[in-house]
């Protein structure tokens, strides 16, 4: 991947949200480009129920695709699609999306919820979802992720359809179990991150 | 452009008495070609994406996209407009950001001819030369297979609305204006046609409107196919759940004749009258495919190399989207998006003297069965022995109808239209 050089600089004044990358054709791009129909160009989504998958930790994306493929993670479309790809192909797609920047759109959030969410994040979540959810070794990037997608995910987790990682279950369902309102506040906090 | 338009335009030009200057301008190159250039015809689901992804993959290649309309109106999600739960404006995109962000040169003009020997596209304003040409013209209609169908007059009374826009709104208005108790007639042509689940989503949307606003009305469906073409069991389940007594479905009934004055269609066996009639005509590749001579022996669709989407008839001309035959892939917006990306990467490979890359496609099609509940079908496609096939043991339909599918569908349309316009 290399920047477009002069074209990018000239075009730069039009690009507020993210740079346009020139990427030579490759098998990885061939496999990955078609995901953008739902997940947005280079993996940054503008649809609130579709997660941005760009800039995710490699371990997390690999694990997610593996769980879609096996059916361990519930899904509508992804389980059906993931079964079509070999492990090598999934690795190529993961490498492709990992290196693209996570594009963040402005979302409607409730300031009071954001403030409560920030407190809960600091107390319970920041060890794994570091830097206000911008960074992680093996968990999803939550900062700037779509609110609606996070709501769907938390519903899947809390209804038992999707298995929570152990550490997450401990922090959410363990001592001082979070109320639905508290979970909603944390979601607003992450969605507010630009 | 069809023959009628051409004659009109020629007449117009002659009537205006072209000065020698404008004749020279007409004959000249609109944008003199300096470096390597791909010309793309059509600014829909395929054309926008192939233009963008060529520029993203190799910015040294110039891309000129020719499109006659300043605004594109999406067919996917237009059935919701007919049902009454969506504004057609939300289906529209423009091309200004594509131009600004990716340096695509958009020419708003009508293609009047294609000279594949000289590698030139003729437009109203002159000619545009190419090294490679990508056609993404969508569909036209085989009106000649419907006796009594006047391509200009009939849609005023019986809008097909199979290209989204004015006719979508007309069909919507007819449904709103119809007296309660009236019968809506909808006919489905023999497959293949644009959007295999489209007619059945439309039937659902019309039934949804009738159920909520015209409870004494019903919709009678005449389907030329032996059964529902796509997602059959799910549509039947939805109709049983939501529209019992509202949808009357007749498979194996092909409309062969229409009479828009009598508001009647004829299957050759039976004449059927309706208060609102939506005849979806049989289809073929868009007109520019015929201009380029890339339509196959069936005289309907364009055979292409499944790896590069280059025509198997005319070299250096690629065809993507509804107009081409892409093996097992359905004629859908997502298919066109996916084919455009495969085509873009391999056009860049070919222009750089490199081997084409084995294709990988995805298709996802959502259909709304109410204003909120949806169903879906999805698959991954690859090329095996020169044929595009669905990857075995993957893909398939959603297990059920659900509002969650509808929630995902809403984000799908946002993302795919955003991809096409930015």
pLDDT by residue (tens digit) across B62-97? 999 999 999 999 999 999 999 999 999 999 999 999
Distance from CA of B64 to the nearest CA of A (A): 17
My answer on whether omega of the bond before B192 falls inside 30° of 0, hence cis, is yes
User: Hey, which CATH number is domain B3-141+285-356, 3.40.50.2300, 3.50.50.60, 3.90.180.10, 3.40.50.150?
Assistant: 3.50.50.60
| pLDDT band at residue A23 using 50, 70 and 90 as cut-offs | confident
**Is A84–B405 a contact, with Cβ atoms under 8 angstroms apart?**
no
Q: Does A9 touch chain B (CB under 8 A)?
A: no
Q: Does B384 touch chain A (CB under 8 A)?
A: no
Q: Do domains B3-141+285-356 and B147-281 have the same CATH topology?
A: yes
**Is A25–B349 a contact, with Cβ atoms under 8 angstroms apart?**
yes
Is 1.10.760.10 the CATH classification of the domain at A23-98? yes
Nearest CA in chain A to B364: A77
Q: Which pLDDT tens digit goes with each residue over A121-155?
A: 999 999 999 999 999 999 999 999 999 999 999 99
Nearest CA in chain A to B400: A76
**Is B419–A77 a contact, with Cβ atoms under 8 angstroms apart?**
no
| pLDDT band at residue B16 using 50, 70 and 90 as cut-offs | very low
Nearest to A20 among B56, B398, B413 (CB): B56
Nearest to A34 among B341, B354, B398 (CB): B341
| pLDDT band at residue B391 using 50, 70 and 90 as cut-offs | very high
Task: Give me chain A's average pLDDT, please.
Answer: 91
Q: Which pLDDT tens digit goes with each residue over B325-340?
A: 999 999 999 999 999 9
- Please name which of B351, B361, B399 lies closest in space to residue B46, comparing C-alpha atoms: B361
User: For position A8, what pLDDT does the model report?
Assistant: 43
Nearest CA in chain A to B407: A49
Task: Give the CATH fold of the B147-281 domain.
Answer: FAD/NAD(P)-binding domain (3.50.50)
| pLDDT band at residue B223 using 50, 70 and 90 as cut-offs | very high
| pLDDT band at residue A20 using 50, 70 and 90 as cut-offs | low
What is the SS3 string spanning chain B?
CCHHHHHHHHHHHHHHCCCHHHHHHHHCECCCCCCCEEEEECCCCCHHHHHHHHHHHCCCCEEEEEECCCCEECCCCHHHHHHCCCCHHHHEECCHHHHHHHCCEEEECCEEEEECCCCEEEECCEEEECCEEEECCCEEECHHHCECCCCCCHHHHCCCCCCCCHHHHHHHHHHHHCCCCCEEEEEECCCCCCCCCHHHHHHHHHHHHHHHHCCCCEEEEEECCCCCCCCHHHHHHHHHHHCCCCEEEECCCCCCEEECCCCEEECCCCEEECCEEEECCCEEECHHHHHCCCCCCCCCCEEECCCCCEECCCCCEEECHHHEECCCCCCCHHHHHHHHHHHHHHHHHHHCCCCCCCCEEEEEEEEECCCCCEEEEEEEEEEECCEEEECCCCCEECCCCEHHHHHHHHHHHHHHHHHHHC
Backbone torsion region of residue A39, taken as left when φ is above 0, otherwise alpha when ψ lies between -120 and 50, otherwise beta: alpha
Instruction: Identify from A84, A103, A147 which residue to disrupt to test chain B contact, counting B C-beta atoms within 10 A and taking the largest count.
Output: A84
Cβ-based burial of B372 (10 A; exposed 0-12, middle 13-18, buried ≥19) = middle
**Is A27–B358 a contact, with Cβ atoms under 8 angstroms apart?**
yes
**Which residue has better confidence, B19 or B250?**
B250
**Is A25–B357 a contact, with Cβ atoms under 8 angstroms apart?**
yes
Size of interface A-B (CB pairs under 8 A): 143
Q: Is the pLDDT of residue A86 over 50?
A: yes
Is 1.10.760.10 the CATH classification of the domain at A111-192? yes
Q: How confident is the model over B232-258, as a mean pLDDT?
A: 98
Q: Which pLDDT tens digit goes with each residue over B169-203?
A: 999 999 999 999 999 999 999 999 999 999 999 99
Cβ-Cβ contacts under 8 Å, A40 against chain B: 415, 418-419
**Is A27–B101 a contact, with Cβ atoms under 8 angstroms apart?**
no
| pLDDT band at residue B15 using 50, 70 and 90 as cut-offs | very low
Distance from CA of B392 to the nearest CA of A (A): 7
Task: Give me chain B's average pLDDT, please.
Answer: 94
User: For position B3, what pLDDT does the model report?
Assistant: 41
Instruction: Write down the domain spans for chain A.
Output: 23-98, 111-192
Instruction: Write down the domain spans for chain B.
Output: 3-141+285-356, 147-281
Cβ-Cβ contacts under 8 Å, A22 against chain B: 56-59
Nearest to A84 among B102, B395, B415 (CB): B395
Q: Is the pLDDT of residue B229 over 70?
A: yes
């Amino acid at each position: 991947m290399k920047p477009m050089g002069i074209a990018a600089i000239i075009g730069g004044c039009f690009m507020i949200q993210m740079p346009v990358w020139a990427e030579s054709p490759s098998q990885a791009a061939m496999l990955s480009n078609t995901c953008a129909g739902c997940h947005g160009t280079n993996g940054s989504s503008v649809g609130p129920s579709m997660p941005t998958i760009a800039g995710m930790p490699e371990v997390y994306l690999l694990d997610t695709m593996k769980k879609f493929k096996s059916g361990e993670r519930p899904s509508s479309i992804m389980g059906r699609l993931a079964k079509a790809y070999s492990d090598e192909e999934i690795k190529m797609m993961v490498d492709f999306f990992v290196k693209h920047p996570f594009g963040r759109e402005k979302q409607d959030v409730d300031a009071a919820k954001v403030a409560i969410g920030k407190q809960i994040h600091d107390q319970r979540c920041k060890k794994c979802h570091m830097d206000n959810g911008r960074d992680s070794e093996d968990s999803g990037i939550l900062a700037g992720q779509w609110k609606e997608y996070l709501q769907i995910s938390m519903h899947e987790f809390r209804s038992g359809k999707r298995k929570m990682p152990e550490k997450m279950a401990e922090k959410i369902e363990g001592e001082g179990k979070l109320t639905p309102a508290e979970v909603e506040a944390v979601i607003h906090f992450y969605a507010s991150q630009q | 452009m069809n023959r009628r338009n051409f004659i009109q335009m020629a007449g117009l030009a002659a009537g205006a008495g072209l000065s020698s200057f404008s004749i020279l301008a007409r004959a000249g190159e609109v944008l003199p070609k300096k470096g390597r250039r791909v010309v793309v015809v059509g600014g829909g689901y395929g054309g926008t994406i192939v233009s963008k992804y060529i520029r993203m993959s190799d910015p040294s290649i110039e891309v000129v996209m020719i499109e006659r309309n300043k605004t594109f109106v999406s067919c996917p999600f237009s059935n919701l407009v007919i049902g009454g739960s969506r504004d057609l404006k939300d289906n529209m995109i423009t091309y200004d950001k594509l131009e600004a962000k990716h340096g695509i040169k958009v020419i708003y003009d009508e293609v009047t001819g294609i000279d594949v020997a000289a590698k030139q596209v003729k437009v109203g304003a002159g000619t545009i030369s190419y090294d490679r040409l990508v056609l993404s013209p969508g569909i036209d209609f085989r009106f000649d297979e419907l006796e009594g169908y006047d391509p200009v007059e009939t849609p005023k009374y019986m809008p097909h609305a199979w290209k989204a826009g004015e006719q979508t709104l007309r069909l919507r208005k007819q449904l709103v204006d119809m007296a309660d108790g009236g019968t809506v007639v909808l006919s489905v042509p023999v497959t293949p046609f644009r959007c295999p689940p489209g007619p059945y989503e439309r039937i659902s949307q019309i039934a949804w409107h009738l159920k909520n606003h015209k409870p004494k009305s019903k919709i009678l469906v005449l389907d030329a196919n032996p059964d529902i073409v796509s997602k059959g069991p799910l549509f039947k389940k939805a109709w049983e759940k939501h529209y019992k007594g509202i949808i009357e479905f007749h498979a194996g009934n092909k409309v062969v004749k229409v009479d828009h004055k009598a508001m009647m269609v004829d299957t050759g066996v039976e004449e059927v009258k309706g208060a609102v009639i939506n005849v979806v005509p049989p289809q073929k590749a868009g007109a520019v495919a015929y201009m380029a001579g890339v339509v196959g022996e069936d005289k309907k669709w364009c055979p292409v190399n499944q790896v590069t989407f280059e025509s198997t008839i005319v070299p250096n001309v690629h065809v993507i989207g509804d107009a081409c035959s892409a093996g097992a892939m359905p004629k859908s917006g997502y298919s066109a998006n996916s084919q455009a990306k495969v085509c873009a990467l391999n056009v860049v490979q070919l222009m750089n003297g490199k081997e084409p890359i084995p294709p990988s496609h995805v298709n996802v099609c959502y259909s709304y069965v109410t204003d909120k509940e949806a169903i879906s079908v999805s698959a991954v496609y690859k090329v095996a022995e020169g044929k595009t096939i669905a990857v075995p043991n993957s893909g398939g339909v959603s297990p059920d109808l659900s509002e969650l599918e509808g929630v995902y569908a809403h984000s799908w349309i946002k993302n795919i239209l955003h991809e096409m316009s930015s």
